Each structure stands twice: as structure tokens, then as C-alpha cells.
Chain A
Amino acid sequence: MNLILQGLALGVLTGGLYALLASGLSLYFGVMRVVMVAHPAFLFLAAYLTYTVHTAFGVDPFLALPVTVPVFFALGVAVQRLLVARLAPDNLAMMSVLLTFGIALTIEGLLGTFYTGSYRSISMEYATRSLTVGGVSLPYDRIIAFAVAALTLGVLFAVLVKSRFGRALRATIQHPEAARLVGIPTGRVAGYGFGVGLATAAVGGTVLALITPFFPASHWVWIGKLMAIIVVGGLGSVVGAALAAVLLGVVEGLVLVTVDATWATMMFYVFLFLTLLARPQGFFGGRLAHRF
């Protein structure tokens, strides 16, 4: 029983991080109908940059954020404006996956060349301790990860709902032609949408570096996990992705403590295939999904 509670707690904490990581993917899909396979590669790029800042200057990994977040925002805008926007509109879905796949390979190769293929990790003094609540031990690094993810997601939602830019972005997601008609520069807004998406990858990468060791090829595992999350949630639905992230995080956590790590990761694919068989458009919204 205690074990189950432990798995549940860890699952919720990890699910929060998954929600943050998947939210970027939902944004890209929303604004451009693009499945950004390179998102996890950028995540690990951010993790490595954080690692470099941490080891070179000996500062807290979160102090890398003021540098990485603007850089990644600019990178995202550049990727959208210079690469994705140039693809021919027919067959955009397939070609964009191949394009971002190529970007992912490029990043993985560069990371492998500069940092070698061996494991890296950042261990902070506060990350090794844990908080015990009613027999369930919650590692501080997971709590911090969850808090940062929740905070970032909160800011993201606030921007999307309250700000003028957020309204323009949502209009672009809902109906690009209509948005253009009322005077929204949809091309530029889509570019900023990509920028915001990659900025979440910068935050996610820092958090990831804190809680888990990483090596250049580990982004493939994350592609599978995050894709499973956005398919289960319904492609293009930020809220759906967040719900599916917590659900799958909990399932993973429970299987991890009761069976083993292989099956825990396998659960993502099981859910992916079950969703495709039962409800290809996803379980939480995602009316956009079926055709893409």
C-alpha cells in the first residue's frame, strides 16, 4: 500500500514535468500543424548548456535560465521562419516531421561530438535529500521540478489567456484565415508561438538536467514518451496534453514501483496504441487531430 502511494506521488510529480514538456509540442502543433520531433533534442541541448554553465561557473543550474530562455525563444522563431515556413503546404505534416527529425539528428550529433556519448549529470546538494510525508518520501529535486513546471505552465496559460499576443496566438490556432482577415500577422505570430514552445524546452531542459542523468541519444526515449502523451491527450490540445501527462506519469510511477523500469516505459506505447485503436483523435479534446 505504501509502495502504491509512493508510486502515485512520484507519478504526479513527474507528470507535472511531462505536462510542461508536452505543452511545447501542443503549441507547435496548434500554430503550424507541425509535429516537432526535435523538441526533446532541444530539451537535451538546454540540459547540456545548463550543465556547461553549472560546471564552468559553479552556479545554481536555474541561473542558466536567463540566458537559455531568450536564446531558445530566438532559436524557435528562427526555426519557424527560416525552415518550417518554407515547406510546401501540401504534405506539410509528413515533411515537417522529416525536417524536424533532421534537426534532431543534427543536434544529437553535435552534442555527441562536443560532450562525448557518456552520461552527464548535475547534482545539487538540495537535490539529494527528500521530504517524508506519512511514510511517502518525496525527493526535493522532484518537488522542485514539479514546482518549476507548474509555475511555467501557469505563466504560459496566463500569457495565452490574458495577453494580446496570447489572443492573437489562439486565434491563429483556431482559424488562420479568419485571424488574417481581422489583421493578425499570422506568420509572425506562428513564429513567436514556436519561440514560446522552445522557451518551455529551455526550462524543461534545466529541470531535466537536475533530476536525471543524460546522454546525447536519450532524447529518443523522450520523443516516444511525449508523442504518446500528446496523442493520448489529443493532438493540439494543451489542456488535453497536460491531463494525459499527469495520467501517464501516474501510470508510469505505479508500474515502476510494482513491476520494473522497462514496463514503466512500455506503458507509454501501450497507451499510445490503445488510444489509436479506440479513439484516434485522443481522449481529452483534440478535435484537430484526426486529419493530421
Chain B
Amino acid sequence: MDILFISKYLVVIALIILMLAALRAGAYKSTSMGLLASSVIINAFAVVLLIGGDIYNLGFYRDISLALIFFGFVGTVVFAVVLGGDDK
């Protein structure tokens, strides 16, 4: 096993730990914290997919992670605008 393979798995493990931490932080009472946690989990999952696709040579994982990053951003911003309301 070369060091590159091990380091990819290290990043995946770290991302899984961060997803669990974000899930714990998202249980805070405010809606914004849940929004932040969901955004972080989506981005972490996109990076996990990207690294998984790189390990197993699967091309379409990159497309899925691109869609997750882009539409995750759009959904987060739209929800934040709806939550914040209009400017006075």
C-alpha cells in the first residue's frame, strides 16, 4: 500500500468524523445552525464521493459531487434568504 492510498483513506475518515460533529452541532436550537450543519454535511459528502471516485476510477462520481456542491449552495442560499426575510 502506497502512502497516497493511505492518505486518501485518512481524508475520508476525517470527513466522516466531521460529518458526525456537524450532525451533533446541527441539533442546536436555532434554524441557522441546522442550515449550516446540512450545508457542511453536503459538502463533506461531495468530497468523500470525489475521493472515492478517484480511488476506484469512477468518472461519474465527479459529476455527482459537482451537482452536490452547486445545488447544495443554491439550496442553502435560498433557504437562508427565506429565513432572513426581506430587507427593510
**A and B together in one complex:** no
